[in-house]
Amino acid sequence: MATIRKLRGRWQAQVRRRGVPPRAKSFDSKNEAERWARDLEAEADRSGWVADTRAAEKTTLGELLSRYANEVTPTKRGAVSERARINSIVRCTIAHRTLAKLTSSDIATYRDERLKAVAPATIVRELNTISHAIEVASREWGLWVPRNPVKLVRRPPVPRGRTRRFKDGEEDALLSACDRGRTPLLKPLIVIAIETGMRRGELLDLRWEYVDLKRCVGTHTTRTA
């Protein structure tokens, strides 16, 4: 049974369950205290224990994603792309929000702001990465969150894919533009991509051991985009 009381100008919520230490936290409003207590009681009813929210209260989304990038991302196909995606997310304001205070409204605001700068497909991938990081944190790292706020947010619709071919003169124009650019390796990357059909992740993960110069073929890479 939860106890809500006024204590030194703030509202304190306390949840007790037999056999486990009590959990208590203070809030500025009574509604916040009651909501926190309801979430803990619901978790206690499901699992029989009172969740410890202290780790989630101290861990920001940015810190979570950084740990995820170091421990989980390297095991994935497309690790290069996901690491770049995480680096982009942690530069945003939402990365400073603690997991305990992260809401679906925060996620929706992030989605709408990002849609002004990037494509819907990019947003969907970013939200999926945030969501999976929260799931891993909840299941394996002991950071208790009452619900995954990303799952409550609508994903933006993604346009159907299309097949795009070079028109007359476009390939020459693209390669000429590379010659005028500041990245010397961009042109050979584009030439390899045109000739092989490799995706970005495969190009960035290409190693000499995957290339057979005698037979003029390439072997498989370890990761794909």
Query: What is the average per-residue pLDDT within 150-158?
Result: 93
Residue whose C-alpha is closest to residue 60's, from 133, 147, 140: 133
Which band of pLDDT confidence, cut at 50, 70 and 90, is reported for residue 65? very high
Percentage of the chain modeled with pLDDT above 70: 91
| pLDDT, greater one: 24 or 67 | 67
18-27, 79-88, 158-167, range with greatest mean pLDDT: 79-88
Residue whose C-alpha is closest to residue 108's, from 158, 57, 152, 56: 152
Q: Do 105 and 143 meet the contact criterion of CB atoms below 8 Å apart?
A: no
Give dist(CA 40, CA 58) in Å, integer: 17
Query: How, if at all, do strands 20-27 and 10-17 pair?
Result: antiparallel
Give dist(CA 24, CA 13) in Å, integer: 6
pLDDT at 224 over 50: no
Query: What is the average per-residue pLDDT within 18-41?
Result: 83
Residue with the two structure tokens 């390939």:
171
pLDDT at 83 over 90: yes
pTM score, whole prediction: 0.62
Q: Do 11 and 3 meet the contact criterion of CB atoms below 8 Å apart?
A: no
Cα–Cα distances in Å, from 121 out to 114, 126, 149? 11, 9, 19
At 20 the pLDDT is 64
Which band of pLDDT confidence, cut at 50, 70 and 90, is reported for residue 15? confident
Task: Provide the 8-state DSSP code for 78.
Answer: T
Which band of pLDDT confidence, cut at 50, 70 and 90, is reported for residue 225? very low
pLDDT at 218 over 60: yes
| pLDDT, greater one: 123 or 45 | 123
Residue 222 has a CB neighbour count (10 Å cut-off) of 10
At 88 the pLDDT is 94
